Amino acid sequence: MLCMEKREIPFPQSFDLKLIVEAAYPEEQTKDSIALSLARCGVEHSFVNVLASSKGRYLSYCYHVKVDSKQQMDCLYAEVRDVPGIKFAL
């Protein structure tokens, strides 16, 4: 049986945020949309890289981010949902 113990995440947290976006959307425009989404939440961030999927249908954007609270993390994920072509964020 799994132990489903609820644990609090300590803040601040720094991590690499991966965003998978359809490759049909222009790369520079997507980078700008992501940066704007992160800035709206006051998230410190820096672009790391962008990689294409093996079949070229998707691009994986990586940003190093620092979030100071759960509210800021929730804001981050809510905002990036509006990036055109986004499939998911990790």
> Where residue 4 falls among pLDDT bands split at 50, 70, 90?
low
| Predicted TM-score (pTM) of this structure | 0.89
Residue 2 pLDDT exceeds 70? no
Q: Which of 55, 63, 71, 62 is nearest to 23 (CA)?
A: 55
Residue 1 pLDDT exceeds 70? no
- Tell me the residue ranges of DSSP E strands in the chain: 13-22, 44-52, 58-67, 86-89
pLDDT, tens digit, for every residue of 25-82?
999 999 999 999 999 999 999 999 999 999 999 999 999 999 999 999 999 999 999 9
